[in-house]
Amino acid sequence: MQKTWIDLFGRNADFVRVDGCQIVRGTEEHWKNQFTVLWHFDTPEQAEESFQAWLREIIAEQDAKRSPHEPPPGSWASVARMMAQGDDSGFDWDAWKDEMKERDM
């Protein structure tokens, strides 16, 4: 069975970047100067292409898990839903979402 990038690198891309011919993972505290090499490639282009392919796999997996009733991330609907959580001010976030969508057209 062919392995995916997720199989090789996992599902968490936090503190992961391309560094020359390598994909590396740092820690929050030591991001700039302490890291672990996840994979070494022959060229920086191969490293970047593989890194982007891995990110696409992660996004596709997250999209597949998202409820069909959940708005797409970054949409006005998702922003309105996030802002409305815990907001007891009475502000009409649904109307705000509609206004923002109309303004963008």
Give the Cα-Cα-Cα angle 73, 19, 14 (nearest 5 degrees). Answer: 35
Helix (H) or strand (E) holding 44: helix 44-65
Measure the CA–CA gap between 42 and 19, rounded to whole angstroms: 12
User: Mean per-residue pLDDT for 55-67?
Assistant: 84
Query: Cβ(41)–Cβ(21) under 8 Å?
Result: yes
Measure the CA–CA gap between 18 and 50, rounded to whole angstroms: 9
Measure the CA–CA gap between 43 and 95, rounded to whole angstroms: 51
Lowest mean pLDDT among 19-23, 28-32, 77-81: 28-32
SS3 state at 52? helix
Output 61 or 21, whichever has higher pLDDT: 21
Q: Is the pLDDT of residue 31 over 70?
A: no
